[in-house]
A and B are shown apart, each in its own frame.
Chain A
Amino acid sequence: MADAIIPNFGDDEETDRKFVLICSKGNLDMAYPGLVLANAALGEGIETHLFFTFWGFDMITKSRMWDLQFSPVGNTAMHLPGRDTKMPQSLSPMPGMTQMATKMMKKQIADLGIPEVPDFLDQIVAAGGHLWACRMSADMNQLTESDLRDDVDGIINASDFIEMTDGAQILFI
């Protein structure tokens, strides 16, 4: 009779693994990779930070965070959901196309039980994730802390970022 195997969740050992994601895109489709990976890292007990810069700033700006969009313009990989049919590039800049594509993508995401961007960030913060905003982006957009989600840890500059990410694994999205 064998002894029970006890899974090694690896959380007895102190780990200094630190994961930092730079979110630089404000398109709906490019917001998700960072959110999914941050959430997964937190679920593995890893210290996780998200740094929002340039267009990625929209993800944490209160007035914009619910309205990220997905546009088929310039995306040659764009095809109709679940099919191999490609959409002709000439159609993608037509009026209403971005709204339609956004609506369709939001539905696909919701159908998988995956939250909208602001709700997803709520979950990430609840799981212990940290949100940081880029100083230069804030200045360019003339935004202050009051324009951002209340749970943003702070607006930091490039040197602060370099200091903060000492020894971290960094992913630029």
Chain B
Amino acid sequence: MPTATIAGHEVQINDEGFLTEYDEWSEDIAEELAKNIGVEMTPRHWEVIKWLREDYKEKGETATTRRVQTVGGFPTKEQFQLFPKKPAKKMAYIAGVPKPHGCV
């Protein structure tokens, strides 16, 4: 498993660049990851990312966009505005959790 230095922290990542250790994530890392993929974090972005991390901690798997809407309360349309084109993958990348597993 490769390691990388992100925002001054040495973290473990997979071959796509996703963090693999939940506890190695921090807000300054997220800020840097977001910048890598052209997302500028606003308070609303943080709400989504923090919810996604909380939900992952509780459920042990990454929420799909459906769940981010129905359980998290962030409408689909807004998810596409905040994380354009590929919201599920982009949210997961910034939140330091794996890509979602489910189909819907």
Q: How many residues of chain B have a CB within 8 Å of chain A?
A: 35
- Cα–Cα distance between A128 and B36 once the two chains are bound (Å): 25
- Cα–Cα distance between A123 and B104 once the two chains are bound (Å): 10
Q: Are A5 and B15 in contact (CB under 8 A)?
A: yes
Stretch at the interface among A39-47, A93-101, A163-171: A39-47
- Cα–Cα distance between A7 and B16 once the two chains are bound (Å): 5
- Cα–Cα distance between A115 and B93 once the two chains are bound (Å): 25
Q: Are B13 and A5 in contact (CB under 8 A)?
A: yes
Query: Is the CB of A104 closer than 8 A to any CB of chain B?
Result: no
Count: A-B pairs, CB below 8 Å: 78
- From residue B37, how far is it (CB to closest CB) to chain A in Å? 6
Interface size class of A (residues with CB under 8 A): 20 to 34
- From residue B16, how far is it (CB to closest CB) to chain A in Å? 5
Q: Are B13 and A128 in contact (CB under 8 A)?
A: no
Out of B37, B66, B70, name the residue touching A6 (CB < 8 Å): B37
Out of A1, A6, A36, A114, name the residue touching B10 (CB < 8 Å): A1
Chain A interface (Cβ < 8 Å from any Cβ of B)? 1-7, 9, 11, 36, 39-40, 43-45, 112-115, 120, 123, 126-128
Can you offer 9 A-B residue contacts whose CB atoms are under 8 A?
A4-B5, A5-B4, A5-B16, A6-B37, A7-B16, A43-B86, A45-B84, A113-B64, A115-B104
Chain B interface (Cβ < 8 Å from any Cβ of A)? 2-6, 10, 13, 15-18, 32, 36-37, 64-67, 69-70, 75-77, 80, 84-90, 93, 102-104
